[in-house]
Structure 1
Amino acid sequence: MLKKTCTFIALLIFTIGQAQSTYFVANQSEGGSDTNLGTITAPFATVNHALSQMIGGDTCYLRGGVYHEEILIDGFNGTSTTVITAYDNEFVRFDGTQEIQNNWTLHSGNIYKTTLTAPIWQLFVDSSRMVMARWPNAQFNDESAYSHDTWAEGIEPSSNNGFALVDSSIHDLGATGIDFTGAIGIMNVGSFKTWTQRILNHTPGTNNFVYDSVPNNGYRTKHHYYFFEGKLEFLDTVNEWFYDTTSHVIYLNMENGQNPNNNFIQGKVQDYAITMTNSSNVEISELYFFATTFKAQNCSDISIRNNHFSFPSCSKRMLQNLDKPLATQFGSTGSGNEVHNSILEKCLFEHTDGEAFRVYGNDNIIENNYLHHIDYTASELEFLMVTVNIKGDNNTFTKNTIHSTGASATIAPGNSSEVSYNDVTQTGSLQSDGAVHQGTSATVQNSNLHHNWIYQTPKYALRFDAPGGSPGAAGQHGKIHHNVVWSTNGIMVKGNHHYISHNTCFSNNGNGLIILDEDSSNDSTYIQNNIASKLSAHRQHHISLYPVPGFFDHNWNGYDMSPLSVSDVIDTITYIPLAGSSVIDAGIVIPQIPHTVVGTLPDIGAYEFGGIVWTAGADWSPNFFPWNDPTIVQDTSSASLNTVAAFNDEFLVYPNPFNETVTIESISNKTEQAIVSIYSSTGQLIGKTLLTNGKKSIDLHDLDQGVYWVNIQSESGSNQLKPIIKK
């Protein structure tokens, strides 16, 4: 009996020791203390202390508040998931800044100054990001920081690697009278590559300078752009700031000559709020990150879900540090540092200096995220310098929305990747060349690019391309199918043994579907069931001069259909074939490409008449910075379109009710672009279009009577949702 009792007690102790536990953390002002028990009524004050009490499978709930911790999650493993999350939808903010409460004194003109005790490398005034003092000037609040128009331009034939001659007719460097020696140059002298280099020699009044040369294999003799930071003399307009690393004095030029003593001012002092190492089965969810972010290495089966990252990364150029920005990272280089079998889902990434994020590892899923205003320098990025750099095998990038990016290429997908159901527009504003999807050599092999919307970008939409003298060098055995591409440089394909099928391409610059035959490319590629206003084996010229190689049949090619255009066979808003269109049942069954047939044979193009109306992009509307209470964020999925979003009206929608057409007009008469999406009352996307020049009329005469929703996503990132009624 005694033996059985001891066995029972031992089993009970073991069971209690293995039981999952729940811990709570709250700010000290809300009763948090690390001497507490970590319960909901007696919470800990720090997440790190909670982690010291936790084992794999435990949960840490964070009560609402602002947290400045640098958290280390190390060695958490187990069959159950360890969770760090906000409690009961409370607003939890990780903040990588410190408030600057110093007394400011007038320096000169409208410039104020104060002395700091610790360095900062990003500055916010009343939650608005300030501009590092620069020449030529640019602003964030008018989007000019994302335009090459605010960069100086070079005269390339008279320049070389290490020496630049500035085109004074565009921006006159000599007229500034400033000595640029010692300044920092953000040098886009590699077409699709940009470097941060030191200016070694400049004579005031001249338009040439010597700079620390860039790698010889990266320098190009075309498309030179640059701007400069790192000198107090550049501080000459509102919303600019400068930090002197020697004297520790910070200078600030406030708008309207304001005295900064009356404002809430914050400086960035942190790179990563959360670092995760040597762990598995960990979830981080429902958190907000301001001027800080997250990184993981040597982890597997981790989940980063439902988080908002605003201003997550920033270069330390203001501290005279020319290294690349420390961006959000899933893994890092080296086999022992990678992250595998993990998911990044339903997160917002906005206003970065540097990539949106980097992924190193295999079998990861990047799904249903929203990325906008990514990187205003595109300098010192990894690989080909892209918005999202993925290095590894079998990664999936799906259902993401991306717009307003600086880097020439948007997605470098890794090997054997799937890139699907993404909505991408307005990319690559700060570099030349490039593509939304940039596939090179090994990354093309077994890649699957399908069901994407890519539009309104000066770059190629999808590209299988790499320098070399053979199809193998450019990549082989890739699939590009069921994509809709308009107002881009089109789809360009090198290599061989591909399937290019069921794509819809129209209104592109030059040819919309380009199947190159150079270096013996594509003689065994299948090009079938595509709609293209212009399809050829050349970037610009007619198919009669450049016939398409490979197995080329059952396509609708505008070159052969004159005087018809794509709008005669499909609805260019919904992308669906028109009733009675010649593309219906005009395709061929392609066993290697999944396609649900309605009728006797597949339709040509990305959509099947009467079939599933698929949509692309994130299915939710983020709480863009400056954040509102999360409870009023409007979800644009079908589940919640019956509630009007709590956004400020920036656009008029009229007449309402309407008969045939509805007009969208910017109240402020701005010329910024906006994406206009029309939804049914059940949340099904009917179509989308682009508003330019502040006003657009949309023909909706084919709609039945009833209530619809128009969602307007402005270039600056705001959203407006309005009900409209068809009479």
Structure 2
Amino acid sequence: MQMGCSIWSIVVLLATAPMLTAMEYYVSERGSDENPGTAERPFRTIQRAAGAMKAGDTCHVGGGVYRETVKPAASGEPGKPLRFMAASGEKAVVSGADVLNAQWAVHKGAVYKATTDGQFIQLFVDGRMMLEARWPNSPLDDLMAMKRASAGDGTDYERLADPNLPPGDWNGAWMLLWPGDRWTNATRRITDYQPGQGFRFDRTLEREKKDKYHQHDPYKPRPGNPYILFGRLAGLDAPGEWFLDVETRTVYLWTPDGKSPAEHRVEVKQRDLAFDLKQLAHVELHGLHIVAAAVDMTNSRHCLVEGCRVEYADHFREMDLYKTPSPRNTVSGEGNVWRRCLIAYCAGSALRLAGKDNRLENSIVHDANYTGGSSGAVNIGSSDGSVVSRCSVFRGGRDLIQHDDAKRVRIEYNDIHHANMLNHDAGATYCWGTDGEGSVIAHNWVHDNMGELTVGIYLDNFSKNFIVHHNVIWNCSNTGIRLNSDALNHLVCNNTVARCPRPIGTYTYTNYVPTQKGTRILNNVFLGHLKETDPHVFVQGELGPELRGNAYAAIAADGVPTAGSAAVDAGMVVPGVTDGFVGKAPDLGAYERGAAYWRPGADWGGVQSKLDIEFSPQPPITEATMIRRGLRLWLDANDRATVEAVADGRVTRWLDKSGEGHHAPAGEGFTLAANALNGKPVVRSIGKGNLRVGTIRAEPGPVTALVVSQNQDVGGAAWQRILGSWSGQGKEWVTPNWLIMRPNASQVQPYAAQVFVHQALDGVVIDHVTLFGAPSAAHQFLVGDIAEALLYDRFLRFDETLAIEAYLQKKWGAK
């Protein structure tokens, strides 16, 4: 009886053996969905295979373009995933775009037109995205270099004014505006368009829910706000632009080479998804090229995207501040991975990781959020346990890795650079109001984030419980690390920050109590001016952070402390962070001398950055050893030969001793006051004129200015200028312009002699340079003294600035 059962079991197993064998399906452009899907007789569509596949099956996709959305009929199983793979050595493209077959005719000049029944908002020529007709024109080959106009006086919630508005009919077109403080943007339809004057919005930009943290409305449109117009035939005036007139069903196109579109491949986006993996498990994509479409892994489990190239995953044209379309490349669910992928050219986020324990590994992400909205290039917000590791993430419209409301995440070994290219006040990594619950940001290079007010690692207000260690941060336009209050229970340890105007900083909303309680800031190399008593650097008093072992010290170009550096063995032991140190104690900064060297970023694609932050502290300065590189103006009242005066003591000209010849003719009311400051003379103004230097550099770039000034009397109007530069346009305090004003400028009070310093890494002019008054007009004259002024056309290293400050303080007895 037992033998009979055994024989029967063998028969059953043999009968079912073919059903248990994993199938290999093949897809080819030359195939047919009537075929069996074999190598010899392949399917025509990937979906035909996806509908037949079971756990463990593989679909081999041959070279070609597949214009479809693929949704598998079933999930895989642990150890038996469904696999979709590009055939070896072949380029398999899954596209969300269709070819636009049309009869093209000349419209005007190089602009062609054709009739179409299609509806679309994205158009490609030979695989390149064209720009919807706009003003001002932008470079076709750099989506992040958007050219924008500036709103003028009279701009508010309901309308935009600008005397430079172009001719033509723009009614019904779109405006994209970065309003108020320019943290994000919004679109509105244009009505009542008047060239050279202004237009109205189809609906207000005033928010129903007011901002409770600021004394002003940070979203109220105002003069100077950048904007563009798009989506009207009147704007089609450059190669690479197009426009679709929905009413007449006519598409207009100016190809990049000016030839007829009939000589090119013209495609338009028609599908959002290449692969729809929602609520599926154990599905894998390998080596595929995805264009004009995305991969949706909402509520998926244990799926993998590996070795894929995804370009133009999403495109949209309507935004409303923080209301933007959800990212098309979305991962939620649990245990999903994107690995060794390239994701590029997205209107919003290139990838959203939500859910739990999802990962982005060894991938390249660039040119994301080219609309300049509130999206992060990689968005892991509201996730739990997400990991972004060994990736190269660069060129984003705002933040590069955004992690609002995320917990227990790890952002590690990434090369993160060129954030905030279209926005204002953002970070390469950023969150607000987030309890990290032990989240780690470590072993990253964060650099060259030169957009306006860009921070390297930005933990904004009401964030807590983050561990930030062993990061190298350099060339950020604002702050290396920002811990805005409330900033509770952070550990900021063994980081190196270089070439940022401020290595670390904090900010507290008005009427809130500043606190960094429980935060520890330890063992960092801060290559910048660090004043621990400055409330803009650290919260003061009993609610301030623990500060130990933060200093500047010599390092090599690769960030490693040099032999004999003050950083070597100068740190304190921090369990779990400084483990494995070499020597008597941990070194300060991100690298341990003598330990293994680490490099971040993807290990493929040729996108690796170079670290070059060599630093050796500047020795003390004398007048004879004054730093000369980049010095374009040097006015010194103590050098009597440089102050020209007539017999009654009136100053007529102040000569430049830099050797550049930028002498300053004096207006009315200037004298050389003897023994006025530390026994030395100063140039004194009674508030009736200014000293105009003129143009030193009209093009935007860096600047460093140092001025010794005092005032012992009350007099003159409010907002008195000490030194300023003006491009000839715009407000004096808005880049590319800049100012140094007297302290408490709204209320004229005496101030003691002090050294005023202004620095900008980039983006400012040195033009219409004026001392003792406004650079744009003859007003707001300073009542007071200037003893010495030095102006450089470069961003001086912090230790150079400190050395010059120390020289000036000693010389003039200034603070």
Sort the TM-score into its range (normalised by shorter chain): 0.7 to 0.9
Contact 2:516 2:539 in 1 (8 A): no
The one-letter amino acid of 2:290's match is: F
**1:144-174 deviations in Å (ceiling 9; x for gaps):** x4235x1122247x433233233x4xxx11x
- Cα deviation digits, residues 258-282 of structure 1 (max 9, x gap): 2222223222222211111221111
Aligned residue pair count: 587
- Please give the alpha-carbon distance, in whole angstroms, between the structure 2 residues aligned to 1:72 and 1:389: 24
Structure 2 equivalent of residue 164 of structure 1:
160
Percent identity between matched residues is 26
- Residue 13 of structure 1, CA deviation: 3.4
1:377 match: secondary structure: coil
Contact 1:401–1:422 at 8 Å: present in 2 too?
yes
1:116 is matched with which residue?
Answer: 116
Q: What is the 5 A alignment of 1:255-654?
A: 255=256, 257-315=258-316, 324=324, 327-331=327-331, 338-379=332-373, 384-390=374-380, 391-408=382-399, 410-412=401-403, 414-458=406-450, 459-466=454-461, 474-488=462-476, 489=478, 490-494=480-484, 495-509=487-501, 511-514=502-505, 519-534=513-528, 535-536=530-531, 549-557=544-552, 566=553, 569-571=554-556, 573-621=557-605
Aligned partner of 1:23 among 22, 25, 49 = 25
Give me the whole-angstrom Cα distance separating, in 1, the residues matched to 2:432 and 2:351: 20
Give 1:67 shift.
1.2
Counterpart AA for 1:588: M
- Aligned partner of 2:407: which letter? N
Paired with 1:89 and 1:475, the residues of 2 have a C-alpha distance of: 48
Q: Is the 8 A contact 1:408 1:433 kept in 2?
A: no
User: SS at 1:361's partner residue?
Assistant: coil
* Change over 3 Å in CA distance of 1:316–1:98 after alignment to 2: farther
Of the three residues 188, 193, 209, the one matched with 2:178 is 188
Secondary structure at 1:52 match in 2? helix
Task: Report the Cα distance in structure 2 between the residues aligned to 1:444 and 1:539, rounded to whole angstroms.
Answer: 27
CA distance in structure 1 between the aligned counterparts of 2:255 and 2:32, rounded to whole angstroms: 39
The separation in 1 between residues aligned to 2:531 and 2:56, in whole angstroms, is 57
1:9 aligns with 2:11: yes
Q: Aligned letter for 1:183? A: A
Contact 1:417/1:443 (<8 A) preserved: no
Deviation digits for residues 551-578 of structure 1 (CA, Å, limit 9, x no counterpart)? 2111214xxxxxxxx5xx101x301111
TM-score by length of 1: 0.75
- TM-score calculated relative to the size of structure 2: 0.67
Residue 153 (structure 1) aligns with: 150
CA displacement, residues 385-444 of structure 1 (integer Å, 9 cap, x when unaligned) = 322222311111111112221125642262221111111111111111111111222343
CA shift, 1:604, in A, is 0.4
State how far apart, in whole Å, the 2-side matches of 1:553 and 1:255 are.
58
Following superposition, the deviation at residue 550 of structure 1 comes to 2.2
Instruction: Quote the residue 1:50 is aligned against.
Output: 49
Aligned to 1:656: none
Per the alignment, residue 717 of structure 1 pairs with none
Which deviations, in whole Å up to 9, do the C-alpha atoms of 1:334-366 show, x marking residues without a partner? xxxx32111111111112222212222111111
Residue matched to 1:41: 40
Q: Matched residue of 1:11: which SS?
A: helix
**Rg: which structure is higher?**
2
Deviation at 1:187, TM superposition (A): 1.9
- In structure 1, what is the Cα distance between the partners aligned to 2:11 and 2:188? 68
Aligned residue for 1:300, secondary structure, equals: coil
Q: Using a 3 Å threshold, how does the CA distance of structure 1 residues 340 and 541 change in structure 2: closer, same or farther? A: closer
8 Å Cα contact 1:74/1:279 also seen in 2: no
SS at match of 2:566: coil
Q: Which runs of 5+ in 2 are unaligned?
A: 212-217, 611-698, 702-760, 764-815
Change (3 A) 1:15 1:520: farther
Structure 1 residues not aligned, in runs of 5+? 332-337, 467-473, 558-565, 623-633, 638-670, 674-689, 693-727
Q: Is the 8 A contact 1:230 1:317 kept in 2?
A: no
Return the alpha-carbon distance in structure 1 between the equivalents of residues 394 and 277 of structure 2. 29
Shift in Å, 1:546: 9.6
Residue equivalent to 2:750: none
Distance 1:34 1:431 in 2: 48
Q: Distance in 1 between matches of 2:200 and 2:296?
A: 39
Alpha-carbon distance between aligned partners in 1 of 2:531 and 2:21, rounded to the nearest angstrom: 65
Q: Residues 69 and 539 (structure 1 numbering): CA distance in 2 closer, same or farther, change over 3 Å? A: farther
For the 8 Å contact 1:74–1:278, the answer to whether it is kept is: no
Following the alignment from structure 1 to structure 2, what is the Cα–Cα distance between the partners of residues 636 and 480? 21
User: 1:34 deviation in Å?
Assistant: 2.2
How big is the shift at 1:512? 0.8
1:425 to 1:376, Cα distance in 2 relative to 1, 3 A:
same
Counterpart contact for 1:358–1:389, Cα < 8 Å: yes
Aligned partners of 1:538 and 1:546 also within 8 Å: no
Aligned to 1:87: 87
Cα distance in 2 for residues equivalent to 1:155 and 1:519: 37
Return the alpha-carbon distance in structure 2 between the equivalents of residues 542 and 465 of structure 1. 14
Q: Do the aligned partners of residues 35 and 207 (structure 1) sit closer, same or farther apart at CA in structure 2, a change above 3 Å counting?
A: closer
Structure 2 SS opposite 1:448: strand
User: In structure 2, what residue type is equivalent to 1:24?
Assistant: Y
Call closer, same or farther: CA 1:107–1:541 in 2, change over 3 Å.
Answer: same
2:234 alignment counterpart: 233
Cα distance in structure 2, aligned partners of 1:581 and 1:100: 64
Match of 2:74 in 1: 75
The answer for the alignment partner of 1:199 in structure 2 is: 190
Aligned to 1:41, the other structure's residue is in SS state coil
Residue 316 of structure 1 contacts residue 323 of structure 1 at CA under 8 Å; is this kept in 2?
no
SS of the equivalent of 2:465 reads coil
Helix, strand or coil at the partner of 2:282: strand
Q: Secondary structure at the match of 1:48?
A: helix
Match of 1:668 in 2: none
Q: What do residues 482-505 of structure 1 show as CA deviations (whole Å, max 9, x unaligned)? A: 111111121011311111100001
Task: Tell me if the contact between 2:50 and 2:73 (Cα under 8 Å) persists in the aligned partners.
Answer: no
SS in 2 for 1:93: strand
- Checking the alignment, whether the CA contact within 8 Å between 2:394 and 2:400 is kept in structure 1 is no
Deviations 1:48-100 (A, max 9, x none): 22122211121111122221121112431412222111122322111222223
Whether contact under 8 Å (1:201, 1:211) holds in the other structure is: no
- Call closer, same or farther: CA 1:23–1:364 in 2, change over 3 Å: same
8 A contact 1:353–1:375 mirrored in 2: yes
Quote the Cα distance in structure 2 between the aligned partners of 1:251 and 1:538: 61
Name the structure 2 match of 1:682.
none
2: CA distance between counterparts of 1:50 and 1:178?
Answer: 52
Q: 8 Å contact 1:315–1:326 — kept in the other structure?
A: no
Contact 1:514 1:537 in 2 (8 A): no
Alignment of 1:705-716 (within 5 A): none
Q: Secondary structure at the match of 1:33?
A: coil
Amino acid at match of 1:503: N
